[in-house]
Structure 1
Amino acid sequence: MDFVFILQTMKTLLAAVPMTLALFFLSIFFGGLLALLIVWMRVAKNPILSNFAKGYIFVFRGSPLLIQMFLVFYGLGQFGFIRYSFLWPFLREPFVCAVLSLALCTAGYTAEIFRSGLRAVPVKEIEAARSIGMSGFLLVRRIIGPIAFRHALPAYSTEIVMMVKSTALASLVTVWEVTGVAQRLISQTYRTMEVFLCAAAIYLILNFVILQAMALLEHRLSQHRRAAPRLS
């Protein structure tokens, strides 16, 4: 095995990590905001909003992310009202299209994860908060939100890991993240094994760091569940 080539390949791929992280963080951020809106619509008593949220979740969970990305990247430009609007300078950029498609997709999965966490909030906790005068946004911020997020965190961490790996699809719309750079190196060197091993190692390290951060967050959010040390 050519360790000099592997070292050079790793150095080249590491230069593309910031692009992968940018795709990841932006899609998680905007997808999370959209997921909160979808959850609100999903649990609303308005049947129009609720059915729209159900349809959104069904479409984006039921269709492949690759097709969604191609529809965003290649399809939006076919509509004149988009191509001649103020949005077109942004939507014609591959990076923006990749972030948009990733965010739309993860929002569908994240909305269901958040909704399951919301349903796990004990009714007695809500009733106790209301009995002392909590209501509205204060009730959500102090009681419902933290408890729901704590219950949703294990499943949400899995979705976050999936999003790290999903950024690899952005290479198919000419965004040069880790996988895209790896494919370009393979086309130049024809050394598939070494290049993809280096790429896989980078994704493993990224996911390891993210999972450790999520485990630490889960540990801090569940401190009250651990028994206090006994005084001798």
Structure 2
Amino acid sequence: MDTLLRAVADGFLWCMGLIGLNVDLMERYGLRFLDGVWVTLALVGLSILFGALIALPLAVARVEGGKFLSRASFTYSYFFRGTPLLAQTFLVYYGAGQFREQLTDIGLWWFFRDAFNCAVFTFTLNTAAYQSEILRGGIQTLPAGQMEAAQALGLSRFNAYRKVVLPQAIAIGLRPLGNELVLMIKASAIASVITVYDLMGVTRLAFSRSYDMEVYLWAAALYLIMVEIVRRVWDVLERRLNRHLLLSR
């Protein structure tokens, strides 16, 4: 892995030299930038994955949960979509310190004392709210006859959701889910304010030592590369999963 990172860094340095950027600066911080990219990808990937696991029951609760569960799900979504992610991150990271004794007593302080864990926890709760709304919209877009047909075939309501409704809702919401992933990649820069050395955290460190604004140009380029890769991968997924919709147009 170290050899691969060094090869990537050397190639990047060569490209930087060709376009007249500061190669010496990249030699000092190039590997740190690549480490920051991996931290960013880990942060976003874990948050999106865990957020999806929370979003599924939240979306179903909005549609099928009755008066209490539906309102509880709406309140959760309303709070996390209506407040800034930065404020939520501060609440978790600095707020956890206010309850150190209680968290230690229940064995959770080891988790909340780590800035990366706090960032993953906060981002998970935030993206779960957005993903749940996307899935809810996908579920409610489907004709009611889908559920009736599934139950007529002998499927329970749970299996009807698992095999019929949710796969179609995810396919319908694939594009906005991709947009949410892109937004999370860009929003992950917030983690740097609580000492997580993601891409933006490494950029701030490099600038504090070099006072060269060029490092922010590198950061912007790397974020753009990540977003472009996601966009292209998502286009392929959408064409494959929704090809039946494209053929019917």
TM-score normalised by structure 1 residue count: 0.91
Deviations 1:162-213 (A, max 9, x none): 0011111111111101000000100111111x11111011111111111112
Q: Is 1:62 the equivalent of 2:62?
A: no
Does structure 2 conserve the Cα–Cα contact (< 8 Å) formed by 1:77 and 1:83? no
- Structure 1: give runs of 5+ residues left out of the alignment: none
Higher relative contact order (CA 8 A, sep 6+): 1
> Which among 67, 70, 95 is matched to residue 50 of structure 1?
70
Q: Is 1:215 the equivalent of 2:249?
A: no
Q: Is 1:177 the equivalent of 2:162?
A: no
Q: Tell me the residue number matched to 1:75.
A: 95
Does structure 1 conserve the Cα–Cα contact (< 8 Å) formed by 2:62 and 2:70? yes
Does structure 2 conserve the Cα–Cα contact (< 8 Å) formed by 1:69 and 1:101? yes
Q: Per-residue deviation at 1:224? A: 2.0
Q: Give, in whole Å, the separation in 2 of the partners of 1:199 and 1:167.
A: 13
Give 1:156-167 correspondences, 5 Å limit.
156-167=177-188
Amino acid at match of 1:221: L
Q: Per-residue deviation at 1:134? A: 2.8
Q: Give, in whole Å, the separation in 1 of the partners of 2:180 and 2:21.
A: 36
> Which among 78, 81, 90 is matched to residue 111 of structure 2?
90
- Structure 2: give runs of 5+ residues left out of the alignment: 1-19
Q: Give, in whole Å, the separation in 1 of the partners of 2:246 and 2:176.
A: 21
Which shifted more, 134-143 or 216-225?
134-143
Q: Per-residue deviation at 1:145? A: 1.3
Query: Structure 1 residues 77, 11: closer, same or farther in 2, change over 3 A?
Result: closer
Does structure 1 conserve the Cα–Cα contact (< 8 Å) formed by 2:189 and 2:198? yes
Q: Give, in whole Å, the separation in 1 of the partners of 2:21 and 2:234.
A: 36
Query: Structure 1 residues 190, 32: closer, same or farther in 2, change over 3 A?
Result: same
Q: Give, in whole Å, the separation in 2 of the partners of 1:48 and 1:122.
A: 25
Give 1:127-138 correspondences, 5 Å limit.
127-138=148-159
Which shifted more, 3-12 or 141-150?
3-12
Q: Tell me the residue number matched to 1:106.
A: 127
Q: Per-residue deviation at 1:7? A: 4.1
Question: For 1:15, what is the secondary structure of its paired residue?
Answer: helix
Deviations 1:40-59 (A, max 9, x none): 32223432222211111111
Q: Give, in whole Å, the separation in 2 of the partners of 1:77 and 1:15.
A: 28
Q: Per-residue deviation at 1:61? A: 0.7
Q: Is 1:19 the equivalent of 2:24?
A: no
Q: Give, in whole Å, the separation in 2 of the partners of 1:178 and 1:61.
A: 24
Amino acid at match of 2:86: L
> Which among 129, 140, 152 is matched to residue 173 of structure 2?
152
Does structure 2 conserve the Cα–Cα contact (< 8 Å) formed by 1:153 and 1:218? yes
* Cα RMSD, aligned residues only: 1.8
Amino acid at match of 2:131: T
Question: For 1:195, what is the secondary structure of its paired residue?
Answer: helix
Q: Is 1:143 the equivalent of 2:182?
A: no
Q: How many residues align?
A: 227
TM-score normalised by structure 2 residue count: 0.85
Q: Give, in whole Å, the separation in 1 of the partners of 2:150 and 2:57.
A: 24
Q: Per-residue deviation at 1:220? A: 1.0
Question: For 1:111, what is the secondary structure of its paired residue?
Answer: helix
